[in-house]
A and B are shown apart, each in its own frame.
Chain A
Amino acid sequence: MHRLILAFANWLQNTPLALAVGGSDWAYPYVQLTHFTGLSLWVGTSVALDVRLLGFGKRRQSPGELLDDLFLWNWIGFCLAILGGFLLFSIAAASFVSNLAFRAKLGILIPLALAVHIFVQAKARAWSETPEPPAAAKLAGLMEIVLWLSVATAAVSIPYF
């Protein structure tokens, strides 16, 4: 399995696209811009809903109403983050797949965080029926914040591993 992933990584970083992005003088910051703009939309709007479920701050909108307003750009942010992240990965794929922090991020933490995220979005409208979200909603919201924090921790730890 590991040899297969490594073979894929070596193939990917030698594709014309990866070589072009990696060899360009100006492309790298724009790829980073795509990744970070996507992440801002994704994490910012996801955490805003979690904070609302936890009951902190303003209560101008129910969790369901807030989700209605955020849903589209939340997932547009996700697509941008994946696009930018894939390009960043493809430039140095082989060293990323052997990096422990990157493996923890992509293999464990992101799938977990994404599962909780989808659960929160699926339940947000049901959790809006009472003025105070139920305990399960608060637990899910807290879990999502902690999981995205751990994803970001793993991401900033990559250069140290």
Chain B
Amino acid sequence: MLNVKVGVGLPNTIPGTSGEVLVEWARRADAGPFGTLGVLDRLVYDSIEPFAALSAAAAVTSRIGLATNIAIGPLRSPALLAKHALSVDALSGGRFTLGLGVGARRDDYEAAGVSRGTRGAALSEQLAYLRGQLEESGIGPARPSIDLLVGGSSGAAFTRMARYGDGYAHGGGPPRAFGSAANRARAAWRDLERTGEPILWGQGYFAFGDPDRGSDYLRDYYAFTGPFAEKIAAGNLTSARAVRDFVRGYEAEGCDELILYPTVASLDELERLAEAVS
């Protein structure tokens, strides 16, 4: 029995994914050995909006957790973001976890008409709003508090996480990189004198059936990072053994929930992941 819960991503950012596949994916994940369905967020890309994708998933699932991991907070106004989050939580009967970060793409900010230069400060304000003002804003539906995860890798990001979050959402990489970030998250948590421990989430990518197609997708999705895209593509997990090693590596570093994102939007992939992790 693993101490880390394994979640699976919805293929909402894989270009061309149909609503039918997305919904069926969610239904089967709910019946599988997964803790959470995660979604990624990109604006200027052929992808389905994360809160919309989770709303669709909420309608056909009853058990599995739903999470943005992460959503690019500053692209939305604090009030609108809160409305989306409360709505998904209400639709799913309280199964929602809100993971927020600043994202990395310039064009997403340009298209949204939001200043990228102040994205860190904007995310902090947004988190402060969700923790505070939201309560008296009149924005509903009223929900019990939603778990709030915060991503990022700078000292300021870890501080922001520890000040406002319930935990940390890591952006992906080998277990050792996660472990190093997790230690920073724990150090920040102590530094801000929070009690207990931060919740720690990790993520990875997989493709069993057609790894080349999966890696091509990653190269395209991360093209904006320049040469780094190749390294992300090289980290695509392409066998059951690689997935299991990865899960064990994350477990050893104290990960609470590891979301594995598909890079090929085929339902076979979900079945094979379920076999690999159960």
Do A and B interact? no
